[in-house]
Structure 1
């Protein structure tokens, strides 16, 4: 049977706690973020069992690479294709701060001056999905990345437009599992929080 795709969002950072948009800025995990990343590794091991692992890709940002390491993963490659949405001039700002000047702003419906559009993020996600599908016949694939980009990736997996990512919540250190049912793309699990080291029962 072909493998499944597991998407792991990086652990908690100070900016994920405050709601600041964190794209290019390279900030570390909090102490709790490190603990939850370790727990996510136990969860992943429980979900996957002894199935072969074909590929582990990570964003190059420190918060993603550190999460992968704490989760016990050996990264095959880091790639900018998995980087977070480039928020341009809105980097480091919260949505309420942006809305002081742009009422009703969301990353899904409005531009990020100097940053990426939803369509550009979707193009990157499509490249990642294509690479994942090429690897799945050899086993599972794990992607370690970021919140907004991973939500676009889930939408892309389902054949939906990038802005449909608004419908999928992805918390820090949470795991999602994507697959297919008789050729139809499927969400098998979404936004599963990590449990302590006891892991998770096999599916």
Structure 2
């Protein structure tokens, strides 16, 4: 094979689609530790500055989030998530920014009677050993409902990206529940071209992100800063 042919083959090497999950920026309730679902709080000035600085570091041509590689963007309907997306891509030219879809499927956990309360307050009124991953939220979503919503989004993304996503989904009340990860491959041998754009971006919330990605015990294993 000639050098030029080898180079051409390398340029068409199948590229694995990626899914990026971004939690919205800081709000007053994320600082205080209050559960924030449907309450539509704005980002704090500090939260805006952090997201803006993050965007300059990771968004742009040749960076982690390359707009030319993004196939689709899902954003939670809450304004704090929409603002986070806007600030994240603020340094990118308007014509190069990806459009986004407001997706109820990536909204935060429906907290019900737990909305606006801290964990200690919930344990005083619901049950002393309340744990969202096993008990869910009265008048809100159960842990199983949250799992089902995340799984529905995964199926939607898999269909969209045309990739293989093997994962293990046990009952949410088993702390061993985990996803083996996004293991994607080119579907039917499709090859990457210079115009390839298969990445998916989700701008969402803390509990949704933990449930979507890994295991119920993530609050103690993997803090998700705003």
Tell whether the structures are fold-level matches, with TM greater than 0.5. Answer: yes
The structure 1 segments of at least 4 consecutive aligned residues displaced by more than 6 Å after TM superposition are none
| Paired position in structure 2 for 1:151 | 210
Greater Cα radius of gyration, structure 1 or 2: 2
| Paired position in structure 2 for 1:62 | 79
How far residue 164 of structure 1 moved from its aligned partner, in angstroms, is 4.8
Mapped partners of 1:17, 1:91: distance in 2? 15
SS at match of 2:64: helix
Identify the structure with the greater strand proportion. 1
How far residue 44 of structure 1 moved from its aligned partner, in angstroms, is 3.0
| Paired position in structure 1 for 2:223 | 169
Superimposed CA distance per residue, residues 138-197 of structure 1 (whole angstroms, 9 cap, x where no aligned partner): 411100000001100002xxxx6xx3554443221xxxxxxxxxxxxxxxxxxxxxxxxx
Tell whether 2:58 aligns with 1:33: no
- What is the count of residue pairs matched by the alignment? 166
How far residue 106 of structure 1 moved from its aligned partner, in angstroms, is 2.1
Runs of 5+ consecutive residues of structure 2 not aligned to the other structure? 1-14, 90-96, 163-196
How far residue 94 of structure 1 moved from its aligned partner, in angstroms, is 0.2
Tell whether 2:172 aligns with 1:113: no
How far residue 103 of structure 1 moved from its aligned partner, in angstroms, is 1.0
How far residue 86 of structure 1 moved from its aligned partner, in angstroms, is 0.4
| Paired position in structure 1 for 2:186 | none
Mapped partners of 1:135, 1:25: distance in 2? 30
How far residue 50 of structure 1 moved from its aligned partner, in angstroms, is 6.9
Whether the 8 Å CA contact 2:67–2:98 is kept in 1: the answer is: no
C-alpha RMSD of the superposition: 1.9
Runs of 5+ consecutive residues of structure 1 not aligned to the other structure? 173-203
How far residue 13 of structure 1 moved from its aligned partner, in angstroms, is 0.2
| Paired position in structure 2 for 1:198 | none
Mapped partners of 1:151, 1:37: distance in 2? 19
